């Protein structure tokens, strides 16, 4: 399967990380299930994917609210990240996106715009030797309003010195596509794992 890009030219590519550059969503889900089981908290797979792009702290808070729990946000995040790092040797890049990274690397600047922590994004990209391809990383904690708010994408464009209208966003979630549109950027949707077979 090939990704069909909107008509360019584009001055920069902005990539979500999980589920877009790296096929990490199944591994993140395993880590979530393990940590949440310790708190008798359930997290249905479809809900997990529908919340894609939501910062980790927000996910814990939402699960607490929905299930009447009082899980410690920082503790759950830390444990979940540790479990994810243990799974990193299984991580693979998404070939349909890598094709565009390879084709344009060195020609235009790239940024990562993620709801994940900087530690998690760096670990994922580092494990695949991709970290040096990106001029800047915009991660959870770098912005106040998460996707679908355009703040994170606008921050990445400003850091790259490229007008929002000249940026192309690669995203796997509806929240991310909405954020790109709100930022005045063209976007391409990366299909979920079960559609890429």
Contacts of 188-193 with CB under 8 Å at 24 or more apart are 188/3, 188/4, 188/5, 188/6, 190/3, 190/16, 190/19, 190/20, 190/94, 190/96, 190/97, 191/1, 192/19, 192/25, 192/49, 193/23, 193/25, 193/26
Given the DSSP bridges, would you call strands 167-171 and 136-138 parallel, antiparallel or unpaired? Answer: unpaired
Measured distance CA(39)–CA(61) in Å, rounded: 13
Measured distance CA(9)–CA(186) in Å, rounded: 11
Structure tokens at 51: 């919340």
Catalytic residue among 16, 18, 23, 172: 16
- The answer to whether 20 and 115 are in contact (CB under 8 A) is no
- Residue holding tokens 């899980």? 71
Per the annotation, the verdict on 23 as an active-site residue is: no
- The answer to whether 121 and 139 are in contact (CB under 8 A) is yes
Measured distance CA(188)–CA(2) in Å, rounded: 11
Residues tagged active-site: 16
């Amino acid at each position: 399967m090939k990704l069909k890009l909107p008509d360019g030219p584009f001055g920069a590519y902005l990539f979500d990380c999980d589920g877009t550059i790296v096929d990490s969503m199944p591994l993140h889900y395993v880590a979530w299930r393990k940590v949440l089981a310790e708190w008798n908290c359930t997290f249905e797979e479809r809900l997990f994917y529908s919340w894609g792009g939501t910062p980790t702290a927000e996910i814990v808070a939402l699960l607490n609210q929905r299930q009447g729990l009082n899980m410690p946000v920082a503790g759950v995040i830390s444990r979940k990240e540790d479990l994810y790092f243990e799974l990193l040797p299984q991580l693979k890049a998404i070939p349909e996106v890598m094709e565009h990274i390879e084709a344009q690397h060195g020609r235009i600047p790239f940024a990562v715009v993620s709801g994940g922590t900087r530690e998690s994004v760096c670990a994922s990209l580092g494990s695949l030797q991709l970290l040096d391809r990106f001029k800047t990383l915009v991660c959870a904690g770098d912005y106040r309003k998460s996707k679908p708010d355009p703040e994170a994408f606008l921050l990445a464009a400003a850091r790259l010195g490229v007008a929002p209208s000249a940026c192309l966003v690669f995203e796997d979630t509806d929240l991310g596509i909405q954020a790109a549109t709100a930022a005045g950027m063209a976007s391409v949707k990366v299909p979920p794992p079960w559609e890429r077979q």
